[in-house]
Amino acid sequence: MSDTDTRDPTSLRTPIVAVLGHVDHGKTSLLDKIRGSAVIEGEAGAITQHIGATAVPLDIISSIAGDLVDPDDFDLPGLLFIDTPGHHSFTTLRSRGGALADIAILVVDVNDGFQPQTLEALDILRRSQTPFIVAANKIDTVPGWNASEDSPINDTYESQSDRVRQRLDERLYEIIGNLSDEGFSADLYWRVQNFQRNVGVVPVSAMTGEGVPDLLTVMMGLSQRYMKEEMEIDVTGPGVGTVLEVKEEKGFGTTIDTVLYDGTIRADDQLVVGGMNEPIVTDVRALLQPRPLAEIRTESRFEKVDEVSAAAGIKVAAPELANAMAGAPVRVVRDRDLDDVIEEVQAELADIAVDTAEE
Ligand code: GDP
């Protein structure tokens, strides 16, 4: 925690991923599947459970994806999934006026097709100009499906009968047609050359894990190819984040669960946090991460850490947080002028107020 940080100040952070889609189309199951696969593939501790988010490092993605991913092709460190799916969290969580998520997965049930919340989600993605891919979920429910757990889509596709393949194709093309009706040119992901122009559709099953290797590969490729510049941050600089949730925590008082998307936050930092009436100026009392399950006995569920760098989910305990708001900005002051930081936070709060009024 010294001021002479020897790390390369410019480094690439993890892209932040949000999952959207109609209720019951499988958002939660898909996140659970990704988390579960990552735990199975990883050595203990390889997947890090953050507060409100799950980090899946590149080496885990490449072991899940097998031949689909060569880790040498990538220098982004992995993907950080926000644990709360749905568009409420997507629209309330912002960064500097834009969406907090850098990239999104829109989940569509292949049987149920487009539904009202699918359209709402598309509208939100369009307005926030968030790149996304479509997970065409529940492919295992196609009548006659022959499941092969956790397989890449190509392998599992090969092992289906012609009838089944045809049924799946029909459903996938219907989704592609629906996307096109909404003004998004889309295709099956392996046919997409330019993911900036076309939306890739990835057939998956959150139940059997089929297509999950493809989904992770496409997300990683898309981020690496089109978002690398935005991921370049000053890791050692003063942290910038967004409040996910304000929570009372036994022994710590009011805490803010925060997604950090730039810089570092340290246990001795001064913070400015967006409040209901005005920015709150406070000092970090503790930075808390979930304690690994194996270590939980009578101790706290959390462990204190000295510092965290973006992108990460962290619980911050500090005085005066009772009026903090979900969706509000958090900024570390460090060696800057406090009034300037307060002004920045005020400006961001004003942006949020305008956006909320428009909705
Ligand atoms: P959410 O509301 O979008 O988060 O949807 P959930 O993840 O809660 O899923 C809704 C229901 O669909 C649950 O009963 C899941 O078990 C089921 N489900 C989700 N994904 C799949 C899938 O890929 N295949 C099958 N067969 N069922 C699924």
Give me the tens of pLDDT residue by residue for the chain, a chain 359 residues long.
444 556 566 789 999 999 999 999 999 999 999 988 766 665 555 566 788 898 888 888 888 888 888 888 888 999 999 988 888 888 888 887 678 999 999 999 999 999 999 999 999 999 999 999 999 999 999 999 999 999 999 999 999 999 999 999 999 999 999 999 999 999 999 999 999 899 999 999 999 999 999 999 999 999 998 888 889 998 889 999 999 999 999 999 999 999 999 999 999 999 999 999 899 999 999 999 988 765 556 567 889 999 999 999 999 999 999 999 999 999 999 999 999 999 999 999 887 766 655 55
CB of 134 closer than 8 Å to CB of 200: yes
Ligand 1 atom nearest to 138, measured from its CA: 23
Binding residue numbers for GTP: 21-28, 83-87, 137-140
Instruction: Please give the Cα distance from 113 to 116 (Å, whole number).
Output: 10
Enumerate the known binding-site residues: 21-28, 83-87, 137-140
258: left (phi over 0), alpha (psi -120 to 50) or beta: beta
| pTM confidence score | 0.92
Paired tokens of 196: 């900036």
In our burial notation (b when 16+ CB lie closer than 10 A, e otherwise), range 226-251 reads ebeeebebebbbbbbbbbbbbeebee
- 203 within ligand 1 shell (Cβ under 6 A): no
- On whether ipTM exceeds 0.90, the answer is yes
Which atom, in ligand 1's list, is nearest to the CA of 22? Answer: 3
Helix, strand, coil percent values for the chain (each to nearest 5): 35, 30, 35
Task: State residue 209 phi and psi, 5-degree precision.
Answer: 80, 0
